[in-house]
Amino acid sequence: MPPETTSVPRSSAGEERTRPPVSIVIPVFNESAALGRLNVRLGRVRQELDRSAEVIYVDDGSTDRSLEELRVIQARDSGVTVVALARNAGQHAAVLAGFAHARGEVVITLDADLQNPPEEIPRLLAEIDAGYDVVGTRREGRTDPFLRRTISAAISRLASRAVGVPMTDCGSMLRAYRRPVVDEILQLAERALFIPALAAWVARRPTEIPIRHEPRVAGRSRYSPLRFMRLGFDLMTGFSLVPIQLVSLAGLGVSLLGIAFGCYLLVRRLVLGPESEGLFTLFAILFVFLGILIFAVGLVGEYVGRIYIEVRRRPPYVVRAVYRDDAEESCGSS
């Protein structure tokens, strides 16, 4: 059954635009069950806006019928563009692909699962009009499980420390960016992508507003606790040298403790003589030191791995095709 759609006519070429046009970028991965409702609600929002808006859906290598349904939506609405990636590149790489095809002076990102209501978009545009160049959001009344909320809050605090800008909820993808910020992000050569942190690092006047949070209309979240932990490690190593500096300081501290403990054992041996009972204590201390050493080697390896990824210069995504205005445009890469 074709997805429900709401057609939004394109503005004529000679129409006078007193405000910058808007691009709405939506990464999609296996969200076929939600796309019909999303497009209907988004269509109503676009009709009520006081400026023109295009929608860019980025299919992130979906394995369900998401791409087919997106093509049906695009065929009925000339203001919709569908960018199909050749493989699953991840949410933030998909957003980056949407940035590369967005034409608006203001770019808004939105998840396809309807947990962030599209009806909040006018509030983000109001903040942009007030002079801010990046408008983030923080989800209030979240319906996610407690563990997910706790990990998300920890990641947000980590992101804030990494970029030096307060970010209450970096997991919320409903955000607005001015064109200069989008262009700066597109010019960055980094392969470790986390769009909210990159934007906060680039922006001169960022702000946040509260938004309501709704349950998913279908499916389940792709962010597991393990993926959240990986994201946190990416933030630590991708935006700061502090972790490796802390390991160096820890190594110095452990060395000093080792020297002190060696002096203590030498004095004890001279006073009390040899003791076999202390052998297991030495093994326990040795294992602690080995654990610290292995962690340090792993952290250095993470930085070396990032250098290797940067040197290879592989694109973060590969575009298979772009569907726009009832015409298909084939693409090779980002």
Per domain, the residue ranges of the chain are 22-222+315-330, 242-312
pLDDT of residue 278: 60
- With CA atoms as reference, report the closest residue to 40 among 8, 62, 10, 67: 8
Tokens of 262: 């060696």
User: Counting Cβ atoms within 10 Å, is residue 64 exposed (0-12), middle (13-18) or buried (19+)?
Assistant: middle
The pLDDT assigned to 223 comes to 58
Q: How far apart are the first and last CA of the chain?
A: 33
Residue 169: the pLDDT is 73
* Intervals of the chain under pLDDT 70: 1-20, 143-149, 151-152, 156, 158-167, 189-192, 216-242, 244-245, 273-284, 287, 306, 308-310, 312, 326-334
238 three-state secondary structure: helix
Distant-in-sequence, close-in-space partners of 30: CB < 8 Å, separation ≥ 6: 62, 63, 64, 66, 219
High-pLDDT (> 90) share of the chain, %? 37
Q: Which CATH number fits domain 22-222+315-330: 3.30.830.10, 3.40.190.10, 3.90.1530.10, 3.90.550.10?
A: 3.90.550.10
pLDDT digits (tens, 9 = 90+) for 34-75: 999 999 999 999 999 989 999 999 999 999 999 999 999 999
pLDDT of residue 7: 41
Amino acid letter, residue 160: S
